[in-house]
Amino acid sequence: MSENLIVPTMAEMLAQGKQPEVLFWVGCAGSFDDRAKKITKAFVRILNRANVSFAVLGTEESCTGDPAKRAGNEFLFQMQAMMNIEVLNAYEAKKIVTACPHCFNTLKNEYPELGGHYEVVHHTAFLKSLLDAGRLTIEGGQFKGKRITFHDPCYLGRANKIYEAPRDLIQKLEVELVEMKRSKANGLCCGAGGAQMFKDAEPGNKEVNVLRTEDALEVQPDIIAAGCPFCNTMMTDGVKNKEKEASVKVMDIAELIANAQDL
């Protein structure tokens, strides 16, 4: 253990009779995927630096059921949802933050009808609120002057109309934010949504993530910023497919901020 991440669990908090300001919903990708784990840690470093009182569910967290629902398995989705709601309600969770737009969308929009009512925020919106409240400062650091383009995750953008928070954060890094020809409401999917992440694509003449990477490379960025672990994987694969990994990096906004602050 080379770094000191402070990651309390809800169970530990409860044992101490404490309620954190926010519950960090890590998500399956954030917990298990090697690339996404880096995003999780970057976000935790920022939370630690900003002295945010937070806790994770740890081993008590389970898949939100999003991919099951989008694959058409409403039974499995609702079983997952009800189990998670039971745990969340037992801890009297009020506010949830997550770095995964799929978890965000499901927890925010699809859990209420099953009895789970929480204030759910995406990590970019949460970081923006920390910034606005003066609890977090963002400087350019190593990214000063770099060209960055932001790929809108469908489940953050079109699905929930969050377009500005991630862009506001990127601009704080003193970089040149360049927009792809399709962005915001007109953004193009990375190809992973709707449970596509877990299956092969149907026959066609191109992969969606390659098409989207072409959109991004067209504006000649140094960095493609993402706000979703799945988009991150898809865009990273796309950049590799185009053999551009030496010159173009794909990074989550939490990583950009954590790295800029040398956290």
Partner 1 sequence: MSYLDNILFAILLVIGFGYFFNNIQKIYRNIHLGIDVDRKDNPSARWKNMAKIALGQSKMVRRPVAGILHIIVYLGFVIINIELLEIIIDGLFGTHRIFAFLGTTYNVLIASFEILAVLVILAVVIFWIRRNGIRLKRFWNPEMKGYPKKDANYILYFEVVLMSLFLLMNASDLHLQNVPNGFSHFIKAGWFPVSQFIEPLFNGMPNQTVLILTETFWWLHITGILVFMNYLYFSKHLHILLAFPNTYFADLNPLGQLDNLEAVTKEVKMMMDPNVDPFAAAPAPADVPSKFGASDVQDLNWVQLLNAYTCTECGRCTSSCPANQTGKKLSPRKIMMDTRDRLEEVGKNIDANKGIFVPDNKTLLNDYITAEELWACTSCNACVEECPVNISPLSIIMDMRRYLVMEQSAAPQPLNAMMTNIENNGAPWQYNQQDRLNWKNEN
Residues 35-74 that bind partner 1 (CB under 8 A): 37, 40-41, 56, 58-59, 61-63, 65, 67-74
**140, 174 Cβ separation under 8 angstroms:** yes
Residues 219-258 that bind partner 1 (CB under 8 A): none
Token pair listed for 143:
């990214």
> CB of residue 247 vs partner 1: minimum separation in angstroms?
25
Residues 89-118 that bind partner 1 (CB under 8 A): 105, 108-110, 113-114
Residue whose tokens read 């169970």? 11
3-state secondary structure of 145: coil
Nearer CB in complex with partner 1: 144/161: 161
> CB of residue 60 vs partner 1: minimum separation in angstroms?
8
DSSP E strands: which ranges in the chain?
Answer: 22-25, 54-56, 95-98, 119-122, 147-150, 176-178, 223-226, 249-252
Sheet containing 54-56: which strands, arranged edge to edge?
54-56, 22-25, 95-98, 119-122
Nearer CB in complex with partner 1: 153/221: 153
**12, 214 Cβ separation under 8 angstroms:** no
Q: Which stretch binds partner 1 (CB under 8 A): 127-135, 141-149, 190-198, 243-251?
A: 190-198
Alpha-carbon dihedral sign for residues 166, 27, 105, 86:
negative
Of the residues 15, 18, 21, 32, which one makes contact with partner 1 according to CB under 8 A: 32
**229, 204 Cβ separation under 8 angstroms:** no
Of the residues 51, 53, 142, 186, which one makes contact with partner 1 according to CB under 8 A: 186
Q: Residue 153 and residue 136: Cα distance in Å, rounded?
A: 24
> CB of residue 40 vs partner 1: minimum separation in angstroms?
6
> CB of residue 103 vs partner 1: minimum separation in angstroms?
11
Nearer CB in complex with partner 1: 171/259: 259
Residue 214 near partner 1 by CB under 8 A: no
Residue 16 near partner 1 by CB under 8 A: no
> Which of 31, 132, 111 minimizes the C-alpha distance to 69?
111
Nearer CB in complex with partner 1: 70/172: 70
Nearer CB in complex with partner 1: 121/173: 121
Q: Residue 233 and residue 9: Cα distance in Å, rounded?
A: 27
